[in-house]
Every structure is written in C-alpha cells, then in structure tokens.
A and B are shown apart, each in its own frame.
Chain A
C-alpha cells in the first residue's frame, strides 16, 4: 500500500531527471571545457569568474537587487494576502483573479509598458507635473529603482499566492483564543498568525528571490546604463559571443548560490512547519 503510493512520485521525478537533470549535466560538462575548443577538463571558466572583480561586483549587485525586490515584495504581499485570507469574504476570489490576470500578458510587453509609464515625459511624469508634485523630470527610469519596480511587479503576485495559502490554514478560532487571552490584534499577529504562516512566507521568499537572481530582461531594459547584472552577463555569453562554456560556468555558480540560500531558507521553514 505504502510502496504503491510511493510510485506516484516517480513520474514527476522521471520527467525532471530526463528533461532537466540530464541536459544540465551536459551543460555542466560544458562549463568545465575551454572556450577555445580544446578538449579536456579545465577550471578556467570558474577561475575566470572568481578572479575578475567585475563579475564579483555584478554578483554582489545582483544579490542586493534581488534582496531589495524580495523585501519589497514581502512588504506588499503579506498584508495583501492577510487581508484576503482574513478580512475579505466573497471579495477575495475576485482579488485573487485580478492578481493573476496580468500574467496573461507578455513579460516583455509589460516591461516596455513600464518604460512608457516611467520615462521622463511619460504618463507618470506628466501626471505628477500636472498635479504639481514635481517640476521637471522624474528621472526614475534607467535606475536601479526602475529595475526593482519592474521585478517586484513581475514576481510579487506569486508571493501573495503562497502566503495566502498558508494564512488560509490558520484557523480563526486560534485568533479568537489569542484575543480571549488578552492579546491585542498586533500581538496576536506576531505571536500566532505570523509564525503559523511562516512556511508560506519562506516559500514566497524563494519564489521571488531565486528567479530574480537570473533575470535579464527587466534589468537590461529598465536599468539603462546601470542595468547590467549577472543575468545579462550570461545572456551576453550565449547570445553575443558564443561563450557557452563560460556562460554555463556562471550559471552554475548562480545555481550554487541558489542551493545555498534555499537550504538555509527551508531550514527556517521546517522549524515552523514542525507544528
């Protein structure tokens, strides 16, 4: 009985192994080969990455950016998910659908729309000028700020979903019990709701932070001259100079960082999961 159930996990695992792991192994082999085509194993791609300050600098910039995006997403998503799970009644499904609908548009098109919206002389600028909030130009496009806005926009809805699902599981009678024991709404939140929704928060952080590390579209387009991040470097390697080996090496460094941060996070998640 139990054995049979275990078999249910296999199809997914097989699909992943065949269509992700095996191909990646081939890619991993590439990362240990020299760009110059000579066969044989080499670490030059990795040493190149770690010895050039430019890549380390970009890595650092990428991490800081991704952290900023994650934190801002959390600040936007948690209250929204909380209100949906605990305050809205019939409304919450409408809100949920409204949150998902924008994903039916293309990512590039959305990013270009931000470009139109944020540019000096664009919609936002004209609006703020006419209201009298600012004079002259806004100057927000082509800064890290614009990149963060674009990325938060692209990823926060996923976080809303994971947190919402976790909060839905927190039984209302627990909130009542806390309240009857004299806890204010705020304390109830921090001592009961938040810890119990922690698994969802952890997943949400992963679902935002991790893809952020590898993005290149938003930084390139919205970041202007400062939009270079590790994702765009990888993209350049593959699209501009045929540097697959080095590109693969960078990708695997990124992947290692992801694994490390995920391990750390899921450890936190597990602590709260252990009810």
Chain B
C-alpha cells in the first residue's frame, strides 16, 4: 500500500501536475483556435472559421513548411557534428576539452538577437549575399549546444571496453563506430536531434536577420503579424503542428516498437 503510494501515486500525480502546468498555455491556444473571437475573448463560441482561413493561407502554410525543412536540416547537421565532437572529445587533453566544450556551449549564453546581428554584420563584412547557407549555419550554431548536451551525458556512460572488444574482434574504427558506438549512442542522438530540431523550428532572430528576401519561416510570419494583432489562424496552425508531430511520434513508435523505449535517454546497458 505504502509502496504503491510512493512508487506510483505520488510520482504520477506529480507528473500530471507538471504536465498540467506545461500544457496550460498550449490548451488555451488550442481552445482559442476554435473560438470565434479574433481577440481570444470569452465567452467561448465554437467556430472553425480560423481553420478554413488557415487552409487558404498559403503564406502561413509555406512558412510552416519552410520552418520544418530548415529545422530538419539543422537537426541532421547538429547530430552529425555533435556526435563527431563527443567521440573526438575523449582524446583531448583536459584543458583543451574544457575550452572546446565552452566554445560550443557559448551560443547558449549570448542572446540570439546579438548572434544574429553579428552574423549579419559578418556577411556584410565579407560582402556576400544573404542566403540560406548562412541561415542554416546560424541555426546550427544555436542548436548545437542542445544536441551536444544530451550526447555528452550519454558518451560518459558508454563502456570503453565495448569499443575495445569490437576492435579485438577485427572491426575497423569505422565499423566499430557504425555497429557499436552509434547504437549505444542512438537514444542520445535521437534526443539531441529532437532538441536541435525544436530550437531551430522555433527560432525567430536568426532567420529574421539572415533569411533572403522572399523566404519566410513560421516564427517570422508570427512575429510580423504581431504589430497589428495576429488572428487565431496562428493558434490553428500551432494546433495542427502539435497534432502532426504527435502523429509522427506515434507512427515512429509503432514502427520501432519496443525500441521507442530507448528513444529519449533510454536505459544504460
């Protein structure tokens, strides 16, 4: 009974409370997407008006797709870079390791606004055109620390004996990497990619300053509408995105079956 209390009841209630807090604004925004009032005022009166408006709003939809693609590319690059980094990190001397690590973590500690502006100045300094390359580079810079965090935690838990064993069985460094290291790091890679994706997907400052004219992302659209007030179409598209991402995760979960267990963090050995 007591065990049930401490092992099940309290944790569950606690998690539910934390999730309730987390979802408060999300639920508000979802509900308001179905509310007739453009000013999100109560009383609530159900309407699909904003969804039908959204369906016609190509600009917003295209922006959302752009954000998605950009975030995906950023996440992939970050994952590759971060994985390479944590693997090489072990061979660095302590002080080098510290230096490199703080270098990579640095973008977390500078307001992105400043980073974006400095990159803009830099592009101007180099006398280059604004282009998507720099947008991606900027996104990578700010997302990389997040990808790194989850990978670092994991690599420390990786038993070096496994890699040695693989070598002694004749596996080349590459083969060891592919068959031993990557699977062991997989949960962290997925988690890191996920974090990087989210950071990029929601980023306004970098995209805004670096993106070439004629291209837009969802955060840019939202930020630009806010001068005069955005309509609940924005709520509608947010709701759609949440729905789609839940669906994707569910599908991935079904396909990967039990290995979803390992998706985030996962279990050690």
Contacts and interface: CB of A to CB of B under 8 A. Distances in A.
A–B: direct contact at CB < 8 Å: yes
A153 interface: yes
Contacts of A138: none
Given A6-B92, A113-B26, A234 B113 contact: yes
Nearest to B136: A19
A262 interface: yes
B89 interface: yes
Given A24-B110, A102-B26, A200-B153, A19 B138 contact: yes
Interface in B169-183: 173
A210 B235 contact: no
Contacts of B128: none
Contact of B28 (A17, A98, A116): A116
Nearest to B194: A100
A50 B218 CA distance: 38
B102 A262 contact: yes
Interface in A247-263: 247-248, 251, 254-255, 258-259, 262
Most B-side CB within 10 Å, residue of A85, A93, A255: A93
A210 B218 contact: no
B140 A80 contact: no
Interface residues of A, number: 99
B235 A8 contact: no
Given A104-B242, A106-B202, A24 B118 contact: yes
B166 interface: no
Interface residues of B, number: 95
A140 interface: no
Contacts of B119: 19-20, 23
A169 B115 contact: no
Contacts of B254: none
Interface of A: 1-13, 15-24, 26-27, 30, 76, 79-80, 83-85, 87-88, 90, 93, 95-114, 116-117, 121-123, 126, 153, 157-158, 161-162, 164-166, 168-169, 171, 185, 199-200, 203, 206-207, 210-211, 213-216, 231, 234-235, 238, 244, 247-248, 251, 254-255, 258-259, 262, 266
Interface of B: 6-8, 10-11, 14-15, 18-19, 21-26, 28-29, 32, 40, 42, 81-82, 84-85, 87-92, 98, 100, 102-115, 117-119, 121-122, 125, 134, 137-138, 140-141, 144, 146, 149-150, 153-154, 156-157, 173, 188, 191, 194-195, 198, 201-202, 204, 218-219, 222-223, 226, 234-235, 238, 241-242, 245-246, 249, 260-261, 263-268
Sorted from nearest, which 3 A-B pairs have the closest CB atoms? A8-B88, A214-B111, A113-B25
